[in-house]
Structure 1
Amino acid sequence: MIRLPLRCASAREARDEFMAYRLKRTDETCEAALRRIATEEIDAALAEIDDAGMDLHDKIHELRKRAKRLRGLIRLVRPSFPAYAAENAAIRDAARRLSGLRDFEGMIETVDKLAAATGDAGLGPLRAHLVATRNAAVAGGDVAADLAVFRAEMMALRARVADWTLTANGFKALRPGIDKIFDRARQDRRLAAETPETAVIHDWRKAVKYHWYHTRLLQPIDPARMGRRAGQVRTLSELLGDHHDLAVLDGWIAGADALTGGAAERDRLRDLIAARQAALEAEAQALAARLFASPARKMSRRWKHLWKAWRAA
């Protein structure tokens, strides 16, 4: 039987997750909010790097999440942020240094999810093979050196944050970024319905995830309504993320040697993955049809009214 690694968040972690990564009424300007949130995310990443008691795989996972949040943050203000291209590339490239180890850990988690979703009891040998491959990669690599470089790049980023500037303020600094990502998510949903290829669904997933980040950042303007939407968009992002993770696993299986069971087992696993992906696609499309029914301008108009009321309170 495959052991599913379950981790329940503590009350403090749940509270921190709710409170972190949000605009605040005390932010005097959007520029001040941008700098504050970026600094908080970077400081949290530095603390995680320096936490000797933190599991290595959890550490890599959390650091990559910090990088994604930072990219989501600056994408919100992209049209008003002259340094966007350079900083987005810097954050992306820093996170790539940690991707190799996370890829194997992600495939192990994907096998666990696949077992839970399908009830397939024959995935144990695949999981054991992935664990052994991951452990060999850790032993053969220099994770400490990669973390040291990532830390240095985060420190350099932190120093630059103090000089970040925006060319607009108020909701004008936010609306173009909100609309751009929302429209992209709508378009990608339609394209994925017409052409459900892995690359298309992966692009859709990225747009959805950025919209989730934007909804979280703006949650204080209407905590209940925005919180509900954030929860629904997160669910959609996870459905599409599971689809992508299965595609990664499928690609690895297709090229892997020495799998227990040979070609017959490889074909069985790939068929199992394809069936699960089809189920995820159907669920994601049904949810997205509700979440992205209205044009971006209609949604952002509502958010603008909520923003003005929130700032005036």
Structure 2
Amino acid sequence: MTYRLKRSDKSTEAALRRIAIEEIDAALTELDDPGIELHEKVHGLRKRAKKLRGLIRLVRPAFPAYARENGAIRDAARRLSGLRDREGMVETFDKLAAGGRLSGFEPVRAHLVATRDRAAAKAHVEEDLAAFRLDMLALRERARSWALYGDGFRPMRRGLQRTFDRARKGRAAAAEAPEVAVIHDWRKRVKYHWYHTRLLRPIERAPLGRRAKKVAELSELLGDHHDLAVLDTHLAATPDLPGGTETRDALRARIAARQADLADAAQTLGARLFASPAKDLGRSWKRWWKSWHRD
């Protein structure tokens, strides 16, 4: 595991630089690997970008270059979003079908596959990958001289607590108004907290390992909800969908039912994970940090 703090890091600033460069190098290796299928490659590269954004968000209040670098990573990943969304719709359809909720919708899947393949065949895909590579190389060069205000746990504590608090408030907002945009925003906050838990896991392996697993489960539930929303939007906006209006309405009804189940499960799990105030979490994790370094 490379996406984590190490006792051998000379400072929090050194850890930030090391982890960022390791993730960038891993992205470049995947990008240049001809053995990785295109859709899998794009998915992997976008995950690397999200991990990088999670990393700098942990130290956001103490990282003067945050706005510039967050924007740069976001824009680099955005180049690949169209292709990933089309592949994601096929995966989402298959996941929905695997749950026994679909029968007789094979022409719709064929339509989704054809839409994905047309996007992959366009010349700009290779151009976008090349541009992503240049973005990562430039980011790597800048990461070598990233600077933080302060050292130890302090540069991380405010970012950790802020992200946790936003995830906590996001759960409450989604419970009050379980709309697609609100649940998607909650999902983003949960994802960042998952990254922070993974980064800090070495300071207290057992409880943070368990927490990382549960937060990952929550992120998966919310991610499935979002993927279904993307598929539903595509179906609603496709006038020539195989099967016509009747097929579209039947499939969208199944999507809505599954989203309701996912939202309920996410609320049950999220209520346990985000029960305590952010300051309580900050105090506990600071104690673990001190003990980790003392040992």
TM-score by length of 2: 0.98
TM-superposition CA deviations, 1:112-147 (whole Å, max 9, x none): 111122442233222111111111111123211111
* 1:87 aligns with one of 49, 62, 69: 69
Matching residue of 2:225:
243
1:233 aligns with 2:180: no
1:72-221 alignment runs, 5 A limit? 72-221=54-203
- In structure 2, what is the Cα distance between the partners aligned to 1:117 and 1:33? 42
Q: Unaligned 5+ residue runs, structure 2? A: none
- In structure 1, what is the Cα distance between the partners aligned to 2:247 and 2:205? 49
Q: The residue matched to 1:23 in structure 2 has which SS? A: coil
Contact 1:78 1:84 in 2 (8 A): yes
- In structure 1, what is the Cα distance between the partners aligned to 2:105 and 2:157? 46
Matching residue of 2:23:
41
1:260 is displaced (CA, Å) by 1.6
1:67 aligns with 2:49: yes
1:193 is displaced (CA, Å) by 0.5
1:300 is displaced (CA, Å) by 1.5
How much identity, in percent, do the aligned residues show?
Answer: 65
TM-superposition CA deviations, 1:176-206 (whole Å, max 9, x none): 0011011101111011001011110000000
1:224 is displaced (CA, Å) by 1.3
Q: The residue matched to 1:170 in structure 2 has which SS? A: coil
The one-letter code matched in structure 1 to 2:5 is L
TM-superposition CA deviations, 1:129-184 (whole Å, max 9, x none): 11111111111232111111100010000000011000121111111001101110
Q: The residue matched to 2:226 in structure 1 has which SS? A: helix
Shift in alpha-carbon separation, 1:28–1:135, aligned structure 2, 3 A: same
* 2:2 aligns with one of 20, 35, 43: 20
Q: The residue matched to 2:276 in structure 1 has which SS? A: coil
- In structure 2, what is the Cα distance between the partners aligned to 1:57 and 1:139? 12
1:40 is displaced (CA, Å) by 0.2
1:78 is displaced (CA, Å) by 0.1
Contact 1:115 1:123 in 2 (8 A): no
The one-letter code matched in structure 1 to 2:121 is A
Matching residue of 2:259:
277
Contact 2:180 2:229 in 1 (8 A): yes
The one-letter code matched in structure 1 to 2:91 is E
Contact 1:111 1:123 in 2 (8 A): no
Contact 2:101 2:254 in 1 (8 A): no
TM-score by length of 1: 0.93
1:266 is displaced (CA, Å) by 0.7
The one-letter code matched in structure 2 to 1:101 is L
- In structure 2, what is the Cα distance between the partners aligned to 1:240 and 1:52? 32
Q: How many residues align?
A: 295
1:28 is displaced (CA, Å) by 1.1
Q: Unaligned 5+ residue runs, structure 1? A: 1-18
The CA RMSD over aligned residues, in Å, is 0.8
Contact 1:80 1:173 in 2 (8 A): yes
List structure 1 runs of 4+ shifted beyond 6 angstroms: none
Contact 1:31 1:166 in 2 (8 A): yes
The one-letter code matched in structure 1 to 2:94 is D
Q: The residue matched to 2:259 in structure 1 has which SS? A: helix
- In structure 2, what is the Cα distance between the partners aligned to 1:82 and 1:272? 46
1:288 aligns with 2:270: yes
1:264 aligns with 2:246: yes
Matching residue of 1:12:
none
